[in-house]
Structure 1
Amino acid sequence: MSAEWLSQVLLPWVLASVMMAMGLNLTRADFTHTWRHPRRILLGTGLQIIALPLLAWALVLLLPLPPLAAAGLLLVSLVPGGATSNMFSFLVQGDLALSVSLTAIAAVLAPFTLPLIMGWNLEQLGLDGQGISLPYWHTVGQLLLVTLVPVLTGMLLRRALGERPLEWILPKVKVLTGLAMIAVVLALFVSHAERLPMLLSIETLAVLLMCVLGMALGHLAARRLRLPHASVRAITVEVGVQNAGVAMMVAFVILQQPAIGLVPLLYGLLMNVPVFLWMLACFWRDRQVAISPERS
């Protein structure tokens, strides 16, 4: 299986299927309660759209990253969260409705904000002089086809099918799309294995730092505003966990730059390490609170 076929054909289709599965999970009730607390929405969205790209730029300025690797890191900071962030929010007993709402808002905004900001990023890195550019409307169209359109299609299908058939379909769709996305990421990892050893140094550090610092930023900001415990966990995940699949699609399919796509590929694999460690810490804290409620 060629790397080109994986990145150009299979990745966009699998990504669209994951986003459609997310749409199948969305209901009006997911948004109704959340929108009664606009502070949580504004904080989560602001951190994702503004703070995370600034954090990525800080890492680019602090670490001696090659321009193409820097572009990959900046690209990851601009993509929305995805089904993965919703899954982690669920596992740590976070506010799932808030997590889903933040993911949906980011999925609506990203097709328009990503090409605009990423085009400016490429200029600042001097890559536009090397013929690397991101045509705005072409990119908007491509992102809409693999993010927003599948989400809306999933929501319409949910409404058409009704609740009873979905009780049987949804668990299977979640498993199939999740396994398909994992398989594509691993296949891309193997197909680009010869290029990865050179990245397992400063690029790995940058990827791990962005995930860890993004989670810390979300956690501290939400705690500062004294949000409910479940909302703090949801925002922590949403800021720290980005949809690496979208970033890879932009790099491999639209930009035609595998060297830029390798950092999102690394991110898609390595982000799980700090997230799982944080999950273990959450489980330990919940157990301690259950044993000694006065500690909560």
Structure 2
Amino acid sequence: MDAVAAMIPVALGVIMFGLGMSLTAADFARVVRHPRVALIALTCQVILLPLVCWGIVVVLGLPPVFAVGMLLLAASPGGAAASLWSHLFGGDVALNISLTAVSSVLSVVTLPLITNLALTVFYPGDAIGLQWAKVVEFFVIVLGPVALGMLVRRLLPRLAARVNRAVKLASVLVLIGINLAVIIPGWSTLVASLGTLAAAVSLFSATSFTIGYFAPRLLRVLPRQAVATSFEIGIHNAGVAIFVGTVALGDPAFALPGALYGILMNLFALGFGFSVARRVVHRNSVTEGHAYGAQNPVSGSGAP
């Protein structure tokens, strides 16, 4: 398992580099220019979702190590795959890219806070926690490759365009690899609570997609943007949760919920895409208008 722990920062770096290759400064600026939809989505993702996850953990009575792992997952930023799912089912991809960028930056602050709070509640008296040195390491591992990817795209745009697809594919394969690398050695631990943990992960995934779509719609966000926010909130960067659990906290058991979620979330994304997103986008394709960056979402106009 030491070899796996050593490779996880590298794997996460590949994933975050791929994210950086898809970003420009304009993706951050877009949130500032049109803050309403982004504020709604980020509030759901950063505040509401961890609270809901906490409730799921308590109600299902998860073992402490899995309870902390679930909160790690809830505090993780949106995954780069959200924009792919959003593209497949007609969501506002520009919004996804912007939200992934901002949530990744915010997670450097919010994830340590939520992690240490979860450890305090579920591991009272135990001398573990996400210490300052680990927070700095997390900052470097998450944001360093993103900045490098953005720099490559800015300085070498043709090269970035040629290798971007390969990097995205590598990111997907790497994520699958680290999910399996965590699940296989921890199989006996996982099997002991598989039913309860699978129920918690599945319920959390379904709730994430539901909140991600219906909360913005209740606040009169346009359907196509609500589809994007649902994929953004439903697709977490499981690699971050795996890194923190395995490397920063030093116990792979903390990473098992994230690894299981990394597999199951795609099934829920597919189900949401066909059951809700495709029909909603098709029904509103004539009336909704342009993408996030080409309209004024501050007005919140659109079908309720």
Q: Does the alignment pair 1:13 with 2:10?
A: yes
The alignment-based identity, stated in percent, is 36
In structure 2, the partner of 1:245 is 239
Distance between the aligned counterparts of 2:145 and 2:124, measured in 1? 31
Alignment gaps of 5+ in structure 1? none
Instruction: Report matched runs for 1:1-296 at 5 Å.
Output: 3-6=1-4, 8-125=5-122, 127-135=123-131, 137-162=132-157, 164-282=158-276, 285=279, 289=283
Alignment gaps of 5+ in structure 2? 288-302
CA contact (8 A) 2:31 2:98 kept: yes
Pairs aligned (count): 288
CA contact (8 A) 2:56 2:200 kept: yes
In structure 2, the residue corresponding to 1:280 is in which secondary structure?
helix
| TM-score (structure 1 length as normaliser) | 0.90
In structure 1, the residue corresponding to 2:221 is in which secondary structure?
coil
CA contact (8 A) 2:90 2:277 kept: no
CA contact (8 A) 1:115 1:134 kept: yes
Structure 1 31/266 Cα, relative in aligned 2: closer, same or farther at 3 Å? Answer: same
Distance between the aligned counterparts of 1:293 and 1:238, measured in 2? 24
CA contact (8 A) 1:65 1:203 kept: yes
- CA shift digits 1:66-105 (9 cap, x unpaired): 1111111111111111212222222222111111111111
CA contact (8 A) 1:16 1:145 kept: no
Distance between the aligned counterparts of 1:47 and 1:245, measured in 2? 21
The structural deviation recorded for 1:293 is: 7.5
In structure 2, the residue corresponding to 1:81 is in which secondary structure?
coil
Equivalent residue letter for 1:167: A
| TM-score (structure 2 length as normaliser) | 0.88
CA contact (8 A) 2:209 2:272 kept: no
Distance between the aligned counterparts of 2:222 and 2:281, measured in 1? 18
The structural deviation recorded for 1:180 is: 2.0
- CA shift digits 1:154-213 (9 cap, x unpaired): 111111102x22221111111122212212222332232232211321111111111111
Equivalent residue letter for 2:130: L
The structural deviation recorded for 1:140 is: 1.9
The structural deviation recorded for 1:284 is: 5.2
